[in-house]
Amino acid sequence: MPQSVFTAGEYERRIEQTKERMRERELDALVIADPANMNYLAGYDGWSFYVHQAVIVTQDRDEPVWVGRGQDANGARATTWLGEESIRAYSDDHVQSPYDLHPMDFFAEVLEDLGVDDARIGLEMDAYYFTAKSYLRLQQNLPEAEFEDTTLLVNWVRVKKSEQELDYMREAARISENAMAAGLDAIEEGVPESEAARAIYNALIDGTDEYGGDYPSIVPLMPSGDHTGTPHLTWTDRPFEQGDPVIIELSGCRHRYHSPLARTTYVGDPPQEMQDRMEIVVEGVNAALDVAEPGVTCERVERAWRDVIQKYDLEKEERIGYSMGLGYPPDWGEHTASLRPGDETVLEENMTFHMIPGLWFDDFGVELSETFRVTSDGAEVLADFPQELFST
């Protein structure tokens, strides 16, 4: 293995757990296109998910097979634990091709070569970067195959973290703390939003004295002023003005593992109403953290939050958190368990969640989030950052 991000044993365990889920569903092969799942199973790391690529797991091979673009095969050699016979690359005329060639034509050949062209093959039908065309093209090339939707199959294997994964998430949390401090420090009247974004990025990549930071799967989000009710706006050149609320949501990243953190600040002296709302959020977050432990369901955790805000006659439709960890753009979420009504997933030790229960009103929003790990009897909050409304 060229890089020692994880031990060989850890990759073996991941493959074994994946194969077990495949056996339960009587699958002979899996085509894994989600870049986070590719990394999880094979170690592959690189900004090449803008072309079609995947990792293929078959029941009868110990190693998965990486399939991607010719110029990325060296990247697979550099970052995966796979042997040369498990790295297969398509020629460049398949890329955004004017010749009626599609990368999935090559994938079909590889699946044939692996002896699974007439077998039961799982596809991540709702994953990023696995397009509708990819599906139709595979279907057309492999008329004897039987395709099953296995979206989230590997994501569910990822839910419980290993000690090494948790260490990387804790390292990411140190970066998140530094970046949040830098962002809060940069925000003041007259400073453009982009200047605060610059200060945050500086800290995100600077990392700590021991290690540098990686790019996060989501850029720092920084809705401000009228826009704190619009959580996914990115920064502009607008200068902060007296009376602006500003929400910062960011995450440090270490070996693609995240530990997101959100806080709210105010340019000037925050009005009492905003202070009051933040106190409710803090009370709600901690009430939810208090009930989190193995055996408790995700919906139960959300209900603890909802019980608090209902006391104050408030409502929030959105889910308040989600399982997360490893990720590539556009998301660090795993798309598995969510903290919301109806989600009966039972918490187990070493699951990790980002709890981000903002309250958004017509004219402003307040958010405060924590990333936490389920411990043997409670919850460990990964970042150590004051839970309060900040101001300039």
Q: Which of residues 46-105 bind a second copy (CB under 8 A)?
A: 46-50, 70-72, 74-75, 77-79, 91-93, 95-96, 98-99, 102
Q: How many CA atoms lie within 13 A of 226 on its CB side?
A: 1
Residue 101 DSSP code: -
Give residues 235-264 in contact with a second copy (rule: CB under 8 A): 235-237
Q: Please name the residues in contact with 363: beta carbons below 8 A apart, sequence gap of 6 or more.
A: 226, 229
Give residues 214-233 in contact with a second copy (rule: CB under 8 A): 214-215, 218-219, 221, 226-227, 229-233
Q: Of the candidates 210, 165, 125, which has an alpha carbon nearest to the alpha carbon of residue 39?
A: 165
What distance in Å separates the CA atoms of residue 36 and residue 315, rounded to the nearest whole number? 34
- Smaller CB distance to a second copy: residue 108 or 381? 108
Residue 128 in the binding site for a second copy (CB under 8 A): yes
Binding segment toward a second copy, per CB under 8 A, in 114-122, 131-139, 305-313, 367-375: 131-139
Give residues 310-349 in contact with a second copy (rule: CB under 8 A): 317-319, 322, 329-331, 333, 335, 338, 340, 342-344
Q: How distant, in Å, are the alpha carbons of 47, 48, 87, 94, 261 from that of 70?
A: 14, 11, 10, 10, 38
- Smaller CB distance to a second copy: residue 188 or 388? 188
Among 61, 109, 135, 148, binds a second copy (CB under 8 A): 135
Q: Of the candidates 22, 289, 6, 349, which has an alpha carbon nearest to the alpha carbon of residue 159?
A: 349
From the CA atom positions of the chain, what is the Rg in Å? 22
- Smaller CB distance to a second copy: residue 5 or 381? 5
Give residues 355-384 in contact with a second copy (rule: CB under 8 A): 360
Residue 205 in the binding site for a second copy (CB under 8 A): yes
How many residues in the shown chain lie near a second copy by CB under 8 A? 82
Binding segment toward a second copy, per CB under 8 A, in 9-17, 45-53, 267-275, 366-374: 45-53
Give residues 169-198 in contact with a second copy (rule: CB under 8 A): 192-195, 197-198
- Smaller CB distance to a second copy: residue 335 or 373? 335
CB-CB contact of 162 with 153 (8 Å): no
Residue 149 in the binding site for a second copy (CB under 8 A): yes
Burial per residue of 268-296, b for 16 or more beta-carbon CB atoms within 10 angstroms, e otherwise: eebeeebeebbebbbbbbbbbbebbbeee
- Smaller CB distance to a second copy: residue 61 or 319? 319
Q: Please name the residues in contact with 273: beta carbons below 8 A apart, sequence gap of 6 or more.
A: none
- Least distance (Å) between residue 253 CB and a second copy: 11
Residue 363 exposed, middle or buried by CB count within 10 Å (0-12, 13-18, 19+): exposed
Residue 133 in the binding site for a second copy (CB under 8 A): yes
Binding segment toward a second copy, per CB under 8 A, in 19-27, 39-47, 107-115, 280-288: 39-47
Give, in degrees to the nearest 5, the angle at Cα 330 between 259 and 39: 70
- Least distance (Å) between residue 212 CB and a second copy: 3
